[in-house]
């Protein structure tokens, strides 16, 4: 009796497994049913056949309020009021594990339909690997030529439909600078300063009893645009050539900049933190400067900021900085499903073509629009302040090949420089080694 019972139980388990495993094979039959129906429908009823529902997935990184469920669901609800047959499922990614999640999905053949990110970080790389659809025909008229150029890959394809942009800047604790008498070194109207004045200001704040004025974070690649911009602007260096084929940061001027930073009181190299830690330390008053800053940081940290966070361009010899831009937008993965691809394009057209919708989309990012659009950030003084940085936007060198390796080499190089004797010669050697590895990766791609 017991054995029979055991046998029945075992068979039940097997049937359960078979039933579970069979879902994949039964699914196509179920999806095929609606397509078979129209063949009979005209004879039975002259009415239009019900449109087939298409489900697409949107995976978004935390770009402004695009991490806020209420905001994103609001856009989708408005979209569904016009397109009820396109269902959009959302997945919210973070910068710690998001990349791994997407890459695992790609390798498993389950890539999302739409992803929202920056071209230099991910989308251009995926496009180069043939994983993305070319969206060149979807770019709205009036998109700034510079932005479009930055999103255009070497083969002429536009894998990212640009949505918003920012000029990455830095910030100072204005209250502390005022207390230390360091505001005299700053052009408060234009938010700029010269290299000489920058070092004088840092010294003044340090002398006023603030040991951590600014920190060269180098625990990872997060927010490395800040350290790159600081180093290359101090004495007019470059990071890559204008053709975006090679990295050029191993230069005397950049080595001199790093050497001066090594020697400066109040500036430390910290391999235990990345930009997010730096921002946290700036917001809580530990650091008096943040090298990784932009409008969205100020908006996101508004409640925690107990002082006036004053946005600044990076210091340059002539006071005119070349800021690094960030461009975010949508990419569509080529999942070999025309219906889903078309639905994804419909969704993106809805978000980017109509001025009223687009303005809301941009405002949700806390960044600037990539084309002229009426009504965006109307009466918003904070955004007007940060818009001052836009004319200083420099070369979008992030699309240089070998970018992943170049980023890794950069922060590892900073770690070594931080522990070195700080001489220009030593630093130049370290820079050269990192640059050679980055260029080798660029050549291999």
Partner 1 sequence: MPSNTQAKRLISRRLVMQENVAAYLFLLPFLLFFVGFVLYPMFMCVYTSFFDATMGREDIFVGFRNYKELFSDPVFWVALKNTAIIVVVSVPITCAFSLWVASAISRMPVAATSAFRCIFYLPVVTGSVAVTMVWKWMFNNYYGIFNYLGQSAGLIDKPINWLGDPKYALGCIILILLTTSVGQPIVLYVSALDNVDKSLVEAAEVDGATPLQAFWKVKWPQMMPTTLYILVITTINSFQCFALIQLLTSGGPRNSTMTIMYYIYYNAFKLYRYGYGNAMGVILAIIIAILSAVQFRLGQEK
Residue 276 interacts with partner 1 (CB under 8 A): yes or no: no
Among 120, 160, 224, 270, binds partner 1 (CB under 8 A): 270
Transcribe 161-197 into DSSP letters: EEEEEEE-EEEEEHHHHHHTT-GGGSBTTTTB-BHHH
Nearer to partner 1, 67 or 404 (CB): 404
Contact with partner 1 (CB under 8 A) among 74, 146, 271, 422: 271
Q: 330: how many CB neighbours lie within 10 A of its CB?
A: 25
Cβ proximity to partner 1: between 107 and 189 the closer is 107
> Closer to partner 1 at the Cβ: 1 or 70?
1
Q: Give me the least distance between CB of 271 and partner 1, in Å please.
A: 3
Rounded to an integer, what distance in angstroms lies between the CA atom of residue 421 and that of residue 263? 10
By CB under 8 A, is residue 402 in contact with partner 1?
no
Q: Would you tell me how many other CB atoms lie within 10 Å of the CB of residue 175?
A: 15
Is residue 439 a contact point for partner 1 (CB under 8 A)?
A: no
Q: Does 10 engage in binding with partner 1 (CB under 8 A)?
A: yes
Q: Which one of the spans 5-13, 195-203, 301-309, 351-359 is the region binding partner 1 (CB under 8 A)?
A: 5-13
Using CA atoms, how far residue 15 sits from 3, 8, 12, 24, 268, in Å, is: 18, 10, 5, 15, 64
**Among 3, 29, 145, 378, which residue sits at the site for partner 1 (rule: CB under 8 A)?**
3
- Residues contacting residue 145 through CB under 8 Å, at least 6 positions apart: none
CB 284 within 8 A of CB 161: no
Q: Are strands 309-312 and 169-173 parallel, antiparallel or unpaired?
A: antiparallel
CB of 346 to partner 1, least distance (A): 26
Distance from C-alpha of 167 to C-alpha of 77, rounded to nearest angstrom? 31
Window of 58-66, 72-80, 211-219, 299-307 that interacts with partner 1 by CB under 8 A: 211-219
Closer to partner 1 by Cβ: residue 193 or 210: 210
Taking residue 236's Cβ as centre, other Cβ atoms within 10 Å add up to 17
**Candidate list 80, 301, 408, 429; residue touching partner 1; CB under 8 A:** 408
Return the range that interacts with partner 1 (CB under 8 A); candidates 3-11, 178-186, 346-354, 375-383: 3-11
Return the number of the residue (11 or 50) whose C-beta is nearest partner 1: 11
CA–CA distance, 138 with 141 (Å, rounded to integer): 9
Would you say 52 or 419 has its CB closer to partner 1? 419
Distance in Å, CB of 407 to partner 1, minimum:
9
Helix (H, G, I), strand (E, B) or coil at 117: strand
CA angle 246, 248, 251 (to 5 degrees): 160
CA distance 374 to 413: 44
**Whole-number Å distance between alpha carbons of 400 and 79:** 36
The single residue among 68, 69, 100, 196 that binds partner 1, judged by CB under 8 A, is 100
Calpha distance 146→167 (Å, rounded): 13
Q: Which residues 103-142 are close enough to bind partner 1 by CB under 8 A?
A: 103, 106-107, 126, 128-131
Q: 250, 257, 253: which is closest to 439 by C-alpha? A: 250
Contact at 8 Å (CB) between 346 and 332? no
Q: Which residues are 290's β-sheet partners? A: 171
Binds partner 1 by CB under 8 A, chosen from 74, 140, 146, 219: 219
Site for partner 1 in 249-268 (CB under 8 A): none
Q: Does 420 bind partner 1 (CB under 8 A)?
A: no
Choose one: 35-43, 65-73, 76-84, 404-412; the region binding partner 1 (CB under 8 A): 404-412
**Would you tell me which residues interact with partner 1 (CB under 8 A)?**
3, 6-7, 9-11, 13-14, 17, 99-100, 103, 106-107, 126, 128-131, 212, 218-220, 270-273, 281, 286, 404-405, 408, 412, 415-416, 419
């Amino acid at each position: 009796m017991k054995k029979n019972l055991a046998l029945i139980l075992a068979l039940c388990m097997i049937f359960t497994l078979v039933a579970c495993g069979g879902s994949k094979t039964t699914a196509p039959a179920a999806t095929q049913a609606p397509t078979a129906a129209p063949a009979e429908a005209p004879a039975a009823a002259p009415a239009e056949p019900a449109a087939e529902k298409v489900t697409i997935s949107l995976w978004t990184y935390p770009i402004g309020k695009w991490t806020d469920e209420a905001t994103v669901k609001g856009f989708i609800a408005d979209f569904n009021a016009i397109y009820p047959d396109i269902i959009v499922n959302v997945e919210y990614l973070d910068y710690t594990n998001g990349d791994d999640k997407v890459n695992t999905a790609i390798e498993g053949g389950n890539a999302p339909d739409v992803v929202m990110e920056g071209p230099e970080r991910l989308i251009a790389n995926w496009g180069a690997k043939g994983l993305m659809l070319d969206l060149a025909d979807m770019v709205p008229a009036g998109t700034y030529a510079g932005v479009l150029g930055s999103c255009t890959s070497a083969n002429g394809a536009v894998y990212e439909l640009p949505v918003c942009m920012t000029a990455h800047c830095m910030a100072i604790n204005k209250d502390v600078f005022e207390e230390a008498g360091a505001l005299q070194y700053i052009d408060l109207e234009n938010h700029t300063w010269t290299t000489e004045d920058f070092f004088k200001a840092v010294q003044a704040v340090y002398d006023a009893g603030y040991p951590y004025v600014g920190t060269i974070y180098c625990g990872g690649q997060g927010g490395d645009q800040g350290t790159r911009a600081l180093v290359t602007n101090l004495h007019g260096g470059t990071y890559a050539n204008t053709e975006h084929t090679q990295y050029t940061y191993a230069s005397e001027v950049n080595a001199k900049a790093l050497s001066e930073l090594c020697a400066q009181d109040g500036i430390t190299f910290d391999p235990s933190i990345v930009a997010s830690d730096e921002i946290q330390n700036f917001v809580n008053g530990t650091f008096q400067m943040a090298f990784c800053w932009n409008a969205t940081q100020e908006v996101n940290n508004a409640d925690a900021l107990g002082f006036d966070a004053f946005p600044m361009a990076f210091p340059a010899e002539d006071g005119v900085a070349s800021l690094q831009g960030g461009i975010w937008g949508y990419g569509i993965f080529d999942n070999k499903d025309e219906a889903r691809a078309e639905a994804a394009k419909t969704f993106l057209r809805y978000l980017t073509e109509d001025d009223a919708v687009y303005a809301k989309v941009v405002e949700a990012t806390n960044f600037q629009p990539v084309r002229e659009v009426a009504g965006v950030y109307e009466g918003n003084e904070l955004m007007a302040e940060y818009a001052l940085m836009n004319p200083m936007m420099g070369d979008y060198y992030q699309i240089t090949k070998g970018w992943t390796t170049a980023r890794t080499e950069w922060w590892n190089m900073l770690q070594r420089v931080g522990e070195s004797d700080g001489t220009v010669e030593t630093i130049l050697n370290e820079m050269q080694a990192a640059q050679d590895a980055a260029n080798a990766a660029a050549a291999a791609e």
